[in-house]
Structure 1
Amino acid sequence: MVVKARRMGEWLRTESGSAALLVAVTIVALLWANSPMGDSYEELWHTHLGVVFGEHDYEMELHHWVNDGLMVLFFFVIGLEVRQEFAVGSLRDRRRAMVPMAAGVAGVIVPALVYLAIAGRDAVDGWGVVVGTDTAFLLGALAIVGPRMSNQLRIFLLTLTVVDDFLAVSIIGVVYTEDLKVGPLLVALAGLVGLWLLSKTSEWRSTPYVLLVIIVWVATLDSGVHPSLAGMAAGLLVPARPTERGHVERAKTLFRAYWQSPEATVARTARRGLARSISVNERLHDVLRAPVSLFVVPVFALANAGIDLGGGVLAEAFTSSITWGVVIGLVFGKLVGIALGTWLAIRAGLGKLPDGVGPGSILGGAALSGIGFTVSLLIVGLAFTDGDDAAKATVGVLTAMVGATLLGWLIFTRARVKWGETSADLPVTLDPPVDLVIDHIRGPVDAPLTVVEFLDFECPFCARTTGMWNDVHAHFGDRVRYIVRHLPLLDYHPHAMLAATAAEAAARQGKFWEMHDVLFANQAELEAEHLIVYAERLELDVNQFVADLESEEIATVIAADEQSAFASGARGTPTFFLNGHRHRGPHDARTLIDELEQAEEATSAARRRS
């Protein structure tokens, strides 16, 4: 029973699991609102709750506490994600981000125009309902109806929804704000400035950021601006950065001290060191992601999706221009907008489609982007003061969710059957396979388990994994072999190509692995004069070594490894292939050992069956 509960918890944390949870909660809300106990549904969300703090009295209905309170966490997490994408994610490389960013902008403008063309005369304010995409639902639907391998498409859609979410929240804060109060607004702005200043001080503790975010939320609540904008803005100001090698090494030293002396004070110091090695943005995101997806958003769905469909409401909705404006705006407006934005960006030379992603997959993802749900339902409550109009718009949002999913499934099916787009991802198989003559191999050449790493000698993450082989080899012994191939990332590491050449030059004298270890031990010193010193230290023929640094044959060997990386789906370092298949996720020794053990067990089971 405990195992089943654990598995259920793990599944709910997946994208398909969280989407299924939202669907279930939405159905519960609809059944509850239309059951004999429907009055209790209304009474619950209209219950008044208040917090008194000195002279300040914050009293709202439970429905408002959910929409204006809990949902701030949702938008705060979105802000954190956007900041991460700009600092270390897909938006860091502007060349790769331009196409999905253009698609995201068009995916906001076109649906709004479609809605206004259909329903503008009856409900102009409702155009904001169709601009947003529910990222959780989108990714969940993609996992269910999309290609089996769709990571590259997923990254494209995530980048797109970053723009979508930012614009949608800006629209909420600007368009749907009434009774603006200058005093509280200035306090909120001061809190945001405080967050910005705090990020400039390299403050690594999360508590000061959390306190300022609370101040910004309370002040925004008083100001009349919708708190969603404050949540997004606050998240954008929490600093994100790549993990620095020095911080990781210090954390390792502190943990070693605790291992040698397991005392409370040493443990506290080690915890601080571990926390300091990870950006405050990433730590807050990690803490909040599960509660937001498993509690905040489902509670929001429960509070907003329950509309009473009795008394002919459903029939009236499907004859209303408001409902059809929402449905067509989301289902077809999003599809046309994103497809058009993508096409125009590519034609303008701003970029290209992600590797491994075809036009059919882009169309399928664009169709799924018509799932508005969370942001759409939130704007329904802001745009429509008339309950009947709000019900019609809500029916449109729920109908569009079903329609967009079905349309996406149809497009993905056609892309797979008619256009041969069976995948929307990079290749996952090592190409070419291990060559016993050309490849550099540690361990027995005929070992049944194989670890291949594409590396860059100047990459700090590769340096951290160099000790991985010792742990893997200690566990498996002669049952495993280790192969490396070159993937110098010249855009980030200017000395990587020269270091790779030095390793191959040493290989010509039978000292590849010795040079491999020396280069990683001296990553900060990879100039030509340093390499010559290393060659002398390894007792190489220095004249031959220097001549080989200019060798066209060695350049050809490295180019072949780079081509292998491209053909195999490796785009960064380190990238690991275990028994010929690209590994995803953490690449610490324990994770790799677990995956290799599973592969070994699967092979043994197959042999027993045969």
Structure 2
Amino acid sequence: MAPRALVERLRTESGAALLLVGVTVLALVWANSPLSGAYTHLWETSVNLDVGELRFDMDLHHWVNDGLMVLFFFVIGLEVRQELSIGSLRQRSQRLVPLVAGTAGVLVPALVYLAVAGGAAPQGWGVVVGTDTAFLLGVLALVGPAMSNQLRVFLMTLTVVDDFLSVAIIGVFYSDDVRIGPLVLAVVCLGVLWLLGRMRQWRSAPYVVVIVVLWGATVQAGVHPSIAGMVAGLLVPAAVTRRADVLHAKSLFRAYWQSPDAAGARNVQAGLARSISVNHRLHEVLRGPVSLVVVPVFALANAGIDLRGGALADALGSAITWGVVAGLVVGKLVGVSLGTWTALRMRLGLLPDGVGPGSVLGGAALSGIGFTVSLLVVNLAFPDPADAQAATVGVLLAMALASVLGWLIFTVARVRWGETTADLPVTLAPPVDDELDHVRGDPDAAHTVVEYLDFQCPFCARVTGMNVELHEHFGDRVRYVVRHLPLPDVHPQAFLAAVASEAAHRQGQFWEMHDVLFSHQSQLELDDLRGYAADLGLDLARFDADLDDEELHDLVRAHAASAAASGARGTPTFFLDGHRHRGPHDARTLAAAIEAAESDPAARRRS
């Protein structure tokens, strides 16, 4: 496999999980080989850093756990902020079920651990509260349903709660000898990050500088820096990309294209940066190094335990080992499942579409993969090497057992309960009807592109010009169909605009009204719509009557219902030859998917 292809494979969730497994095995083999002394010596190497009167004197093992891992928790914080601002935690109906499930998935494992090992080492309860999100999603990709995106979203939302609580527990219960001066500086840094967000600072450099100071302050204060990483990520603002910013970046690039020079290139870079939130930019830059470097290095530094000389037998006879195993494997399964069931019974929300009870049970089992967070807490909770060794064996054993248990549950769910997927539908329902649908192009075209649109959506095809580019590329080989999916919670005028287009259709001018509405997205009030109808020469009396016609309102609702039945949840959503397209929806990507479908029909289902 070529190096580039290998890196791309490792960047996938399943690839990252396999990488972690490989590194974990390497650490175990190294620590139990004749070269075990080199392994121990490597991580005990002292690395000193002096900054003025400040001195950071730690061995390499602590630099990994207290330094590199801050990036890991910072990325988690960025992801939590994204979910809170624009993702699955934004709406109450979407966040309450995973919130309850995630909280129960922290409390129940801790209680299970204390019931099994509380008499021997009660301080170890924090080992079983966390879930390794990256590892969980990687194993899900390997053993879960072939299509499990909705389950993946549910589990990610659940582990967001899990991770937040876990980091809070680390910061509160596993920090000691706190120094007030550096702690005050850390709080000031958090205040500066909040101010940068409030000031809508779009450059990433100020955030990075403050976060570095924050890390140093928390280390000097004696507080575990994981909590600083998480909170810092939470304070970096995330926002939906605005069409106006994209258009501004486009104008800057056009100027550079017409007159390329260094100043123009710098303006383009700044314009592109301003169009994407600093949260998303930092996340895009860091997620690759964190998954491919930081977490594997952490695994190499922490998973290498010497099991020779009866150490494994001692660990298997320790209450700590089995307390960790029971807490992660049994506690997570029971806690997450019970929390989900309780939230559903209390009608706090619903499971994502396409996710059945078997999938929830399988995901709950996989949440017993603690690994990264668990190994970090092992080093904080157990000063005795023998106890730490027993806990590490428990974490590794739980990882294997949770993965096998998840696979078994998913298999039973598929065979006995018919849960072959845990995702939204991917097939267009109902199929295109030439008599009922709005079709542009040759009715006998080889390919059909269907777009669910919202007339206020700033990224739908008419605005971006995507449909024009597809026609220029394929000519009469592609026909273009539109259906309505107004999103009234974010675009309040979209529904009436959709009805207006159907009213224009009754007078034979749907596409003319379609183009006018997209050309005036910010002006879609009733008087505006009547003005556009007049400009098009429509009969206004008939147009007004049709706007009030409940039959047209039902037609728009029927389009929205077909979107739900087809798996479309936002705009624009495209279907290529009857199959929902997933991924980027620029003209080049869609054209490539259509061309791939011509040579390999199965490619439509993978697009």
Displacement, 1:553? Answer: 2.1
Instruction: Output the CA distance in 2 between the equivalents of 1:461 and 1:335.
Output: 41
Matches within 5 A, 1:457-606: 457-462=455-460, 465-603=463-601
Q: Which residue of 1 aligns with 2:374?
A: 376
Look up the equivalent residue of 2:411 and give its one-letter code: T
Q: Which residue of 2 aligns with 1:29?
A: 27
The question of 1:418 aligning with 2:416 is answered yes
Instruction: Output the CA distance in 2 between the equivalents of 1:602 and 1:167.
Output: 46
Match of 1:246, SS state, is helix
Look up the equivalent residue of 2:206 and give its one-letter code: P
Mapped contact 2:453–2:460 kept (Cα < 8 A): yes
User: Runs of 4 or more off by more than 4 Å in structure 1?
Assistant: 463-466, 603-606
Matches within 5 A, 1:51-200: 51-200=49-198
Match of 2:452, SS state, is strand
Q: Deviations over 1:178-222 (max 9, x none)?
A: 101000000111111011111111110000000000000000000
Instruction: Output the CA distance in 1 between the equivalents of 2:434 and 2:242.
Output: 36
Q: Which residue of 2 aligns with 1:268?
A: 266
Instruction: Output the CA distance in 2 between the equivalents of 1:444 and 1:604.
Output: 24
Instruction: Output the CA distance in 1 between the equivalents of 2:225 and 2:601.
Output: 55
Instruction: Output the CA distance in 2 between the equivalents of 1:13 and 1:198.
Output: 31
Look up the equivalent residue of 2:101 and give its one-letter code: A
Q: Which residue of 2 aligns with 1:395?
A: 393
1:309–1:603 distance in 2 versus 1, CA, 3 Å: closer
Mapped contact 1:462–1:573 kept (Cα < 8 A): yes
Provide the TM-score with structure 2 as the length reference: 0.98
Mapped contact 2:112–2:326 kept (Cα < 8 A): yes
Instruction: Output the CA distance in 2 between the equivalents of 1:131 and 1:204.
Output: 35
Instruction: Output the CA distance in 1 between the equivalents of 2:504 and 2:477.
Output: 27
Look up the equivalent residue of 1:34 and give its one-letter code: N
Look up the equivalent residue of 2:224 and give its one-letter code: H
1:76–1:444 distance in 2 versus 1, CA, 3 Å: same
Look up the equivalent residue of 1:222 and give its one-letter code: Q
Displacement, 1:489? Answer: 1.1
Instruction: Output the CA distance in 1 between the equivalents of 2:591 and 2:367.
Output: 38
Displacement, 1:245? Answer: 1.4
Displacement, 1:490? Answer: 1.4
Q: 2:229 aligns with which of 228, 231, 234?
A: 231
Instruction: Output the CA distance in 2 between the equivalents of 1:435 and 1:96.
Output: 34
Matches within 5 A, 1:450-461: 450-461=448-459
Q: Deviations over 1:210-235 (max 9, x none)?
A: 00000000000000000001111111
Instruction: Output the CA distance in 1 between the equivalents of 2:139 and 2:161.
Output: 20
Q: Deviations over 1:289-324 (max 9, x none)?
A: 000000000000000000000011111111111000
User: More displaced, 114-123 or 535-544?
Assistant: 535-544
Mapped contact 1:191–1:215 kept (Cα < 8 A): yes
Q: Which residue of 1 aligns with 2:345?
A: 347
Instruction: Output the CA distance in 1 between the equivalents of 2:368 and 2:286.
Output: 26
1:487–1:42 distance in 2 versus 1, CA, 3 Å: same
Q: Deviations over 1:402-430 (max 9, x none)?
A: 00000000000000000000010110000
Match of 1:460, SS state, is coil
Mapped contact 1:106–1:341 kept (Cα < 8 A): yes
Instruction: Output the CA distance in 1 between the equivalents of 2:443 and 2:461.
Output: 24
Provide the TM-score with structure 1 as the length reference: 0.98
Mapped contact 1:463–1:520 kept (Cα < 8 A): no
Q: Deviations over 1:331-382 (max 9, x none)?
A: 0100000000001111111011111110000000000000000000000000
Instruction: Output the CA distance in 1 between the equivalents of 2:201 and 2:560.
Output: 40
Q: Which residue of 1 aligns with 2:201?
A: 203
Mapped contact 1:465–1:588 kept (Cα < 8 A): no
Q: Deviations over 1:537-569 (max 9, x none)?
A: 111122211111111221222122112111101
Match of 1:427, SS state, is coil
Match of 1:595, SS state, is helix
Displacement, 1:604? Answer: 12
Mapped contact 2:20–2:299 kept (Cα < 8 A): yes
Match of 1:577, SS state, is strand
Mapped contact 2:13–2:141 kept (Cα < 8 A): yes
The question of 1:306 aligning with 2:304 is answered yes
1:604–1:209 distance in 2 versus 1, CA, 3 Å: closer
Mapped contact 1:457–1:463 kept (Cα < 8 A): no
Instruction: Output the CA distance in 1 between the equivalents of 2:161 and 2:149.
Output: 19
Q: Deviations over 1:5-64 (max 9, x none)?
A: 221111100000000000000000000000000010000000001112222221110000
Match of 2:460, SS state, is helix
Sequence identity, in percent?
Answer: 67
Q: Which residue of 2 aligns with 1:214?
A: 212
Displacement, 1:603? Answer: 5.0
Match of 1:461, SS state, is coil
Instruction: Output the CA distance in 2 between the equivalents of 1:539 and 1:465.
Output: 24
Q: Deviations over 1:116-137 (max 9, x none)?
A: 0000010010000000000010
Instruction: Output the CA distance in 1 between the equivalents of 2:294 and 2:365.
Output: 26
1:116–1:604 distance in 2 versus 1, CA, 3 Å: closer
Instruction: Output the CA distance in 1 between the equivalents of 2:304 and 2:480.
Output: 57
Displacement, 1:174? Answer: 0.3
Match of 2:481, SS state, is strand
Match of 1:450, SS state, is strand
Match of 2:429, SS state, is coil
Mapped contact 1:502–1:531 kept (Cα < 8 A): yes
Displacement, 1:107? Answer: 0.1
Instruction: Output the CA distance in 2 between the equivalents of 1:571 and 1:84.
Output: 18
Q: Which residue of 2 aligns with 1:9?
A: 7
Mapped contact 2:427–2:578 kept (Cα < 8 A): yes
Look up the equivalent residue of 2:35 and give its one-letter code: M
1:526–1:604 distance in 2 versus 1, CA, 3 Å: closer
Instruction: Output the CA distance in 2 between the equivalents of 1:148 and 1:378.
Output: 32
Displacement, 1:464? Answer: 6.7
1:213–1:605 distance in 2 versus 1, CA, 3 Å: closer
User: More displaced, 352-361 or 463-472?
Assistant: 463-472
Q: Which residue of 1 aligns with 2:249?
A: 251
RMSD, aligned α-carbons: 1.3
Match of 2:480, SS state, is strand
Mapped contact 2:143–2:410 kept (Cα < 8 A): yes
Mapped contact 2:170–2:377 kept (Cα < 8 A): yes
Q: 2:39 aligns with which of 30, 38, 41?
A: 41
Instruction: Output the CA distance in 1 between the equivalents of 2:558 and 2:58.
Output: 65
How many pairs align?
A: 604
Match of 1:599, SS state, is helix
User: More displaced, 160-169 or 530-539?
Assistant: 530-539
Match of 1:58, SS state, is strand
Instruction: Output the CA distance in 1 between the equivalents of 2:20 and 2:248.
Output: 42
* Structure 2 unmatched ranges of 5 or more: none
Mapped contact 1:330–1:370 kept (Cα < 8 A): yes
Look up the equivalent residue of 1:33 and give its one-letter code: A
Q: Which residue of 2 aligns with 1:317?
A: 315
